[in-house]
Amino acid sequence: MSDINIRIDGKIGHITLTRPKALNALSYDMCLAIEKALDDWREDDAVSMILIDAEGDRAFCAGGDIQELYDTGKAGDFGYGRKFWRDEYRMNAKLFEFPKPVASLMQGFTMGGGVGIGCHGSHRVVCESSQVAMPETGIGLVPDVGGSLILSRAPGRVGEYLGSTGGRIGAADAIYAGFADYFVPQEDWTALTAELVETGDWTAIDRAAKPAPAGDLEALRPQIDAHFAGETLRDILITLQDDDGDFAAKALKSLNRVSPLSAACTIEMIHRLRGSDDIRQALEMEYRFTFRAMEAGDFLEGVRAQIIDKDRNPSWKHEGPGAVTDMEVAKMLMPLGADSLTFEEEE
């Protein structure tokens, strides 16, 4: 497949995303190819570890390739999107649970679906250019591909803040928030990769790591924790509106830009997952939302405004983030019954 290069390279299973002009966006076929590699290498003694990297300087993986999701959903066919998410989430679970070390080298943009393949391994590497984000609320989704679990484990209320606003973070903040483990200057990646290929010794990553340039999140923690500790999105809004400082103003601006329904559901999901280490619980809850996102949520309108027409002027189902009721959140996150995510491959 021209979009991805999967091979055994020396002592490692090597997966390279090869769509740099498309910011290495993850297609459905790429998801299936990664899953097959995980299945093939799980019990293969020739593979000591896995390395996932990507061509180009601008992005490791800027997200999922959602054009077909939009086209089919707009035509009233919600089945393709549900299949895409179901199979992608199964691959995410296998990656999270893989019994051997999994390293990732994440330059540039690592967002959405990129987090799902880059941020569930054991040795997650960022560099000077890294920009990590779960920006799904901006297109009417929730942080998915297991991202909700990472957010729920972030320090304090950093997860609620990043998940609802969709903010981007650099290398140090990605490590602080739990999306990455190591900072290695990108100029050292070629030598590090060669050593991993030759030896299969993942401790080489520990030896290559350097201190990351300073980030912002730790200094912002007192404000984040004070404002994003509410039970619901409405509670968070009340505290932000009562604060005339810069942080509150920027957070309110972000929350007024994203889908109100998505932001409210994101807060609830993170609360439900707090204290969990179960990727399948997270993915199953995410699937409850994405299963309904086209028909009952803001996904199609969000994609239209941000990606198709690029007018950046979505007409959300709710007039503002304070207009979402607890009942509407509960409906989006209700169990799916017979349609629940099972992590089984369907014929």
> Over the stretch 62-73, which tens digit does the pLDDT of each residue have?
998 888 899 999
Q: What are phi and psi of 106, to 5 degrees?
A: -115, 95
Whether the Cβ atoms of residue 256 and residue 318 lie closer than 8 Å to each other = no
Structure confidence at residue 263 (pLDDT): 98
Is 344 within the bounds of a domain? no
Assess if residue 345 is contained within a domain.
Answer: no
> Could you give the number of structural domains in the chain?
1
Residue 346 lies in a domain: no
Answer yes or no: are the C-beta atoms of 95 and 145 closer than 8 Å: no
* 43 in a structural domain: yes
What number is the average pLDDT over the span 25-41?
97
The pLDDT-based confidence of 345 (bands split at 50, 70, 90) is: confident
| 1 pLDDT above the threshold of 70 | no
Closest by CA position to 19, among listed 60, 51, 69, 50: 60
Q: Do 133 and 59 contact (CB within 8 A), yes or no?
A: no
Phi and psi dihedrals of 203, rounded to 5?
Answer: -70, -10
- Which one, of 22, 112, 197, 42, lies nearest residue 2 by Cα? 22
What average pLDDT does this structure show over 158-184? Answer: 98
Q: Residues 136, 160, 173, 286: which is the catalytic one?
A: 136
CA–CA dist 345, 23 (Å, integer): 28
Of the CA atoms within 13 Å of residue 216, those in its CB half-sphere come to: 8
The mean pLDDT of 213-236, rounded to a whole number, is 97
138 catalytic residue (yes or no): no
pLDDT for residue 2 = 84
- 187 a catalytic residue: no
Question: Does residue 73 carry a catalytic annotation?
Answer: no
CATH of the domain at 322: 3.90.226.10
Pairing of strands 12-17, 4-9: antiparallel
Asked if residue 125 is part of any domain, the answer here is yes
DSSP helix, strand, coil percent of the chain (3-state; round to 5): 50, 10, 35
Q: Which residue has the higher pLDDT, 346 or 89?
A: 89
Summarize pLDDT for 72-90 with one digit per residue, the tens: 999 999 999 999 999 999 9
145 is a domain residue: yes
Q: What is the pLDDT of residue 121?
A: 98
User: Looking at 13, 63, 73, 113, which residue is catalytic?
Assistant: 113
Number of alpha helices (DSSP H) and beta strands (DSSP E) in the chain: 16, 9
User: Among the options 53, 144, 160, 181, which is catalytic?
Assistant: 144
pLDDT 10s digits, 303-327: 999 999 999 999 999 999 999 999 9
DSSP 309: S
Segments forming the whole domain that contains residue 101: 4-339
Q: Is the pLDDT of residue 346 over 90?
A: no
User: Within a domain: residue 253?
Assistant: yes
User: Predicted confidence band at 251 (pLDDT cuts at 50, 70, 90)?
Assistant: very high
Q: What length does the chain have?
A: 347
Question: pTM to 2 decimals?
Answer: 0.97
Averaged pLDDT, 142-171: 98
64 belongs to the catalytic site: yes
